[in-house]
Amino acid sequence: MVVNKFNTIRKNIGAFMAQIPGKIALTADMWKSKFTNDAFLGLTVHYIDQKWKLQNFLLDIISFTKWHTGINIATSINNKKLWLLLQLIYNELAMIVCERTLEQQLITQLDSQNFRHYRCAAHILNLAAQQGLEMISDEVIKVQELINKIKYSIVISDQLKNLCSYTKITYLRPEFDCKMRWNSTFNMLRKLEKMWRGMQLLAVENKEIQNLMPTNNKWKIIKDTLTVLEPLEKATVYLSAARYPTIADVQFVFLGILDYLNDLIGSEEFSQNELASFINQKIDNYWKYIDE
């Protein structure tokens, strides 16, 4: 019944889309089934109706068996000939979230239309932060070894918990970082910072922990790195939580981050000017595009 209804609606979707009064946006999202491990690509149409209400509907779901690259995504969409539906639209497509390959293919198929391609803002922040963290990879690896030692030892974990209670600081369960989520590295380092006094006392009692503790110079690098990454983490949470983040939201967030990083770059006492400058350049490259 559901499939039949979907097919019926799909036949009329071209005529329906032609009635949309203004611009539309296409967004692409991929996910994997927890039960079968099959991957799917979903395409959603977003638009503002005649009553100025934001609306959306599912355009199609495509079974995906290839690597999740931009070219493969574009090819899969193009093979479905979805552009045949789009040919019925007489308004301007202003935004499409996919890779440039699909953008160029759609421009070729619909040479009378204009397209703008905006990448996922949270993904841009992730790439900038990930590449920035590579600059302090030695310090991060050292912290990973430290956290690993604590997490997998009940005795050491209990020692740290008791020392945190003694120093009247909140014990935070050690957290591993995940390469696919840069803010997990941020959270790992932030927890270490919040329990730093307890960690110092633990190092006095435990020789293995003492050997894994960052030196004073390394610790300053970590703390200054957290200072650089903090606005990116807040921006990631904000944009990821928003149901409909707009270009205006992204512009506001990115401009705030750029101003913040520029202040850090100009500080002579700050140890991570190079990191701040590197991330600033990565974000600025994308900012120039969305600021047009």
Number of domains comprising the chain? 2
- Same domain for 144 and 260, yes or no, is yes
pLDDT given for residue 177 in this prediction: 67
- Same domain for 71 and 111, yes or no, is yes
In the three-class reduction of DSSP (H, G, I as helix; E, B as strand; rest coil), residue 191 is classed as helix
Buried-state track 39-63, b at ≥16 Cβ within 10 A, e below 16: bebebbbebeeeeeeeeeeebbebe
Three-state SS for 193-253 is HHCHHHHHHHHHHCHHHHHHCCCHHHHHHHHHHHHHHHHHHHHHHHHHHCCCCCHHHHHHH
- Same domain for 7 and 127, yes or no, is no
Q: In angstroms, what CA-CA distances link 39 with 59, 68, 121, 138?
A: 17, 9, 23, 35
The range of the structural domain enclosing residue 268 comes to 123-290
- Same domain for 169 and 280, yes or no, is yes
Backbone angles phi, psi at 170, to 5 degrees: -75, 130
Domain boundary among 117, 134, 166: 117
- Same domain for 79 and 176, yes or no, is no
In the three-class reduction of DSSP (H, G, I as helix; E, B as strand; rest coil), residue 183 is classed as helix
Backbone angles phi, psi at 236, to 5 degrees: -65, -45
pLDDT given for residue 64 in this prediction: 76
Domain boundary among 71, 99, 117: 117
Integer Cα distance of 183 and 44 in angstroms: 27
Domain boundary among 117, 134, 167: 117
Whether residue 95 contacts residue 116, with contact meaning beta carbons closer than 8 Å, is answered with yes
Backbone angles phi, psi at 37, to 5 degrees: 70, 10
Q: What's the burial of 244, exposed, middle or buried (CB within 10 Å: 0-12/13-18/19+)?
A: exposed
- Same domain for 141 and 231, yes or no, is yes
pLDDT given for residue 12 in this prediction: 72
Integer Cα distance of 274 and 280 in angstroms: 10
Integer Cα distance of 88 and 18 in angstroms: 6
Integer Cα distance of 93 and 104 in angstroms: 13
CATH code of the domain covering residue 54? 3.30.420
Query: pLDDT means per 10 residues in the chain (292 residues)?
Result: 70 72 76 75 83 82 70 66 46 40 52 59 82 83 89 90 91 75 83 92 91 90 91 87 79 88 89 89 73 56
Integer Cα distance of 290 and 19 in angstroms: 28
- Same domain for 141 and 240, yes or no, is yes
Residue (of 63, 22, 64) closest to 46 by Cα position:
22
- Same domain for 146 and 208, yes or no, is yes
Beta bridge partners of 29: 42
Integer Cα distance of 41 and 46 in angstroms: 16
pLDDT given for residue 142 in this prediction: 87
- Same domain for 275 and 156, yes or no, is yes
- Same domain for 156 and 112, yes or no, is no
pLDDT given for residue 6 in this prediction: 67
- Same domain for 108 and 138, yes or no, is no
- Same domain for 284 and 144, yes or no, is yes
pLDDT given for residue 37 in this prediction: 73
